[in-house]
Amino acid sequence: MSYQPKPNTWTLFQNTRKTNDTQPDYTGSAFLEMPDGTPKEFRLSAWKRVSKSDVKFIGGFIKPKEDQAPKLLDESAAAGAGDQDPW
């Protein structure tokens, strides 16, 4: 049985593949029920931050999942053109 997220929930996981500071500290997804009742999935990217008053917080971005670039292996990717991170 695979995991099925419940409407209006989100999950973040620590980014264990992070190689530089511009990449998110956490990534995950949110599963929201829209006002018309349709479900929609979002991608989450979050970074650990510290405010000017030295308060720690987490901030980030939310993008609809369908906005993500598909990870397809084609001739241009094999030639090195696809080396950019889709995030």
Q: Mind listing the pLDDT tens digit of every residue in the chain (87 residues)?
A: 667 788 899 999 999 999 999 999 999 999 999 999 999 999 999 999 999 999 999 999 999 998 656 566 555 544 454 454 445
What H or E segment, with its residue span, contains residue 76?
helix 75-78
Model-level pTM? Answer: 0.68
Which residues fall within 8 angstroms of residue 23, CB to CB, at 6 or more apart?
15, 85, 87
Give buried/exposed letters for 16-25 (b at 16+ CB in 10 A, else e).
eeeeeeeebb
